[in-house]
Amino acid sequence: MDANERLNRLLQESDDARKILEQKTFELQQELEAMKDHLFFVMEYVGGGDLMGLLHEVEGGFTEKRTQFYAAEITLAVEFLHRHGILHRDLKLENVLVGSDGHCRVADLGLTKLGVFGRDKTSSCVGTPIYMAPEIMQDLPYGHAVDWWALGIMIYEMLVGHPPFDDDAGDAADASQTLQYKIVNCEVDFPEGMSLASVSVVRNLLKKDPAKRLGTRGSADKIRQHRFFKGIDWQALLDKRVDPPEKPEVPE
């Protein structure tokens, strides 16, 4: 495949992705322009930063209310992706952007897998290790459940201030093995004071067996019905009729 063919293919794939993602879940405004041997992507400016940056601004994690709001918007975004056969595979706090309006945009679709519907599986080992599900770590076929695992990691991280599994070994190779061992074999430690609803949603999203993981059976319906999200008006949230608990300060 020569350069022109690769460019045309990329343009077509980007156009297809734009058609799928142009709903307000992402509000991704994508324009493509080819000039000579350069390709330019122009996207919506989201000036509030990412969730990891916002988390670093607070001591000990977000409040449960703030975490609930972000987790609910991420759930809607992931549900939308899965409904259209898209597996994100790299959900993490750095890939969730917050606009000046306080609402989330899931970003970075570089590792997405298209055409994954229902119980379809794929097998490429990709993603950010701290957010990887056990089945990816073990080189097993995987499906939508890996994105719900990542949601569980993010909820814990937002509430506590750090991820449930870390690579605290000194040597890089040892750190990788340590992290893999923890993800595959260790249970999550929950700090005192964490609400029962928070513990429950994280524990059920981080089931080692993907078949038992929250969201696998009944898709996002079971997640939306969990008591952690009690009080969320999902349609109002989708329509942006819910006021965010916090709005980031965005320089003019």
Within 10 angstroms of residue 58's Cβ, the number of other Cβ atoms is: 13
Q: Are strands 104-106 and 38-42 parallel, antiparallel or unpaired?
A: unpaired
Q: What is the pLDDT at residue 49? A: 83
d(CA 250, CA 171): 39
């005192």: which residue's tokens? 192
Distance CA(84)–CA(81), nearest Å, equals 5
Q: What is the pLDDT of residue 217?
A: 76
| pLDDT for the residue numbered 27 | 43
pTM: 0.83
Q: What local confidence, expressed as pLDDT, does residue 93 receive?
A: 97
Residue 195: how many CB atoms within 10 A of its CB? 13
Strands (E), the chain: 31-35, 38-42, 86-87, 96-98, 104-106, 113-114
- Cβ-count burial of 112 within 10 angstroms (0-12 exposed, 13-18 middle, 19+ buried)? middle
Of 99, 145, 130, 144, the C-alpha closest to 249 is: 99
- For domain 51-238, the CATH superfamily is Transferase(Phosphotransferase) domain 1 (1.10.510.10)
Rounded CA-CA distance 244/209 in Å is: 34
**C-alpha to C-alpha distance for 136 and 127, rounded to whole angstroms:** 9
Cβ-based neighbour number of residue 163 at 10 Å:
17
Residue ranges in the chain modelled with pLDDT below 70: 1-47, 168-173, 218, 250-252
CB-CB contact of 166 with 176 (8 Å): no
Tens of pLDDT, residues 6-52: 555 555 555 555 555 544 344 444 444 445 555 555 556 666 789 99
- Hey, where are the domains in the chain? 3-42, 51-238
- Residue 30's pLDDT is 42
pLDDT, position 24? 36
- Radius of gyration, alpha carbons of the chain: 19
CB-count exposure of residue 37 (10 Å: 0-12, 13-18, 19+): exposed
Provide the pLDDT for residue 173: 61
For residue 52, the model assigns a pLDDT of 96
Is 147 a known active-site residue? no
In whole angstroms, give the CA distance from residue 40 to residue 212.
Answer: 43
Q: Which of 90, 167, 174, 209 is catalytic?
A: 90
